[in-house]
A and B are shown apart, each in its own frame.
Chain A
């Protein structure tokens, strides 16, 4: 029992926040509000799944916010034309995929550090988005498209359904296929993985391309929900997705962790902002509260590791052959 409790700190933190909010706000534990929280976290979860994969390979993707802005802006302008929404959707995936592919090539082939490659990509794509939009905002999409973000299926908001599908697909991909195993292997030890015959460069390129596609999907959900596209969107997304991943227990060292933890990480972060709104926490305090909770979450995990005897991270990882 003790081991279980200490081994699932994230679950416990989420539970603790849920219980606290239930007592502090009468409207928190209602079906409507819970659906609301799930709907709000859908976007973050989709983005964080890609981020988690990048971090598992020992990388990072700082470009997701900007790529999301560019892909959704271009998609929006196509969505406004013609009779069908599909060209717009295709454009979004094409741009997301291309940006991800480029990131992957820069990292795997040109050997740029992931931080820098994706940071540069972020500047460039954001710049193009601004230039392309010329300061305008595109708004008012067809109902067929808006259904994706604002519609309901059997009483459940669409974003939640999309999130569930994406999560299931990637859970299977990561844990039941050889591709998933390779992603972990690259993160554990790239050189050894290469020596064992895996084309590690392809694995890395695949991860960033998938990430780009997920970003495009998130962008479509976003503009469908918001009913508008503008180049400024998503500036805080990279840090939010990284925070969700790390709070979820996937470390930067790579090779460990997974998207289940990330799901909890995103849940905790979304709960916090929902709770702060419900409790009427002053705008000025919000960033301080968020920062403190992130630190406390990780602190709780470290303490639990000490208690279960897993030991601090540095000592736990033994040198690989």
Chain B
């Protein structure tokens, strides 16, 4: 697997293989062109062919639909930047939603329930981080195990049924609109802001990139690799929890399997956004664009009334094409 692979290479080989440019670290849109072209292309096509696509109402609609993917993709970006992966976010999202839903049904106050949901996510993420950083688990296997465990617990807690009907105070998270923009979009924006700050204005960010570049080099240069990994997975779990809270508020019900598949959408968003699995490169700006591309694709195809089997094929072609173009541009530059 490309992630973690640089572990057994000398620094020279790492450089020969992945060619990190000095600017890569500084720019949040380090490798945007491919995905940006794809984005513009999709908007142009849908603008012509899909009714109502270019309306203000749809802009609000699609940004609302994409906000949860954007939130979890930001966590996934950090994880992939360290050369890891987090397969558990979909299940953790479901579990956090289930915990929040159960507490709300049990009559606990809204802030407490939300806090519990976020904590659930954090704990799951921290367990992943602990296994990966202290016990040298492969990220894939640790988070794969967590995927099963979190999904199972979510099903057991809810007894396999979805928990419906929350108070208006809780529903406000997913439903309210502030200055013409839905609250989930604001939340995604705020998460972006905070992660942007930590990634590019603090030493934490530099450490994340360094750990992804080469764990050995990072360790030799005195970076607390374990702590960086632990925090990255905890953040990813926390954001999955946040996504879960927002999603169940938007759906007004906590379904124990609602998050299934989010992990792959998030991975696709990150990778389309130009953060490679080899770690050490990429940026969160690209991931937001990646999440936007995926959401716009699904929305546009729905607006055109394309039926599900065709949607599968078209999305697969589009994602692959976007990445192929991206890689080609990248190869040509270097």
Contacts and interface: CB of A to CB of B under 8 A. Distances in A.
A126 B267 CA distance: 19
Q: SS class of chain B's interface: helix, strand, loop or mixed?
A: helix
A298 B141 contact: yes
Contacts of B251: none
Contacts of B320: 116-117, 120-121, 123-124
A312 B136 CA distance: 7
A313 B1 contact: no
Interface of A: 55, 58-60, 106, 110-117, 119-124, 126-128, 130-131, 134-135, 188-189, 191, 239, 242-243, 246-247, 251-255, 282-292, 294-295, 298-299, 302, 312-314, 317-321
A251 B138 contact: yes
Nearest to A282: B156
B315 A123 contact: yes
Given A121-B320, A124-B317, A314-B7, 18 more contacts: A111-B327, A114-B1, A114-B2, A116-B277, A117-B320, A119-B267, A120-B323, A130-B313, A188-B8, A246-B141, A253-B5, A282-B156, A287-B151, A289-B152, A292-B149, A302-B137, A314-B216, A321-B10
B160 interface: yes
A130 B309 contact: yes
A113 B145 contact: no
A65 to B, nearest CB: 12
B142 interface: yes
A127 B310 contact: yes
Interface string B141-156: 1101111111111011
Interface of B: 1-5, 7-10, 13, 16-17, 131, 135-138, 140-142, 144-153, 155-156, 159-160, 215-216, 264, 267-268, 271, 276-278, 308-317, 319-320, 323-324, 327-328, 331
A303 B156 CA distance: 30
A130 B308 contact: yes
Contacts of A114: 1-2
B136 A189 contact: no
B5 A291 contact: no
Contacts, number: 186
19 contacts: A112-B327, A114-B1, A116-B277, A120-B319, A124-B313, A127-B312, A130-B308, A135-B309, A188-B8, A191-B13, A191-B16, A253-B1, A255-B8, A287-B149, A288-B148, A288-B151, A302-B137, A314-B7, A320-B9
Contact of B314 (A55, A60, A127, A283): A127
B188 to A, nearest CB: 24
Contacts of B136: 302, 312-314
Contacts of A255: 8
B268 A288 contact: no
Contacts of B7: 253, 314, 317
Contacts of A253: 1, 4-5, 7-8
A120 B316 contact: yes
Q: Which 5 pairs show the lowest CB-CB distances between chains A and B?
A: A288-B152, A291-B148, A123-B316, A127-B313, A120-B320
A191 B277 contact: no
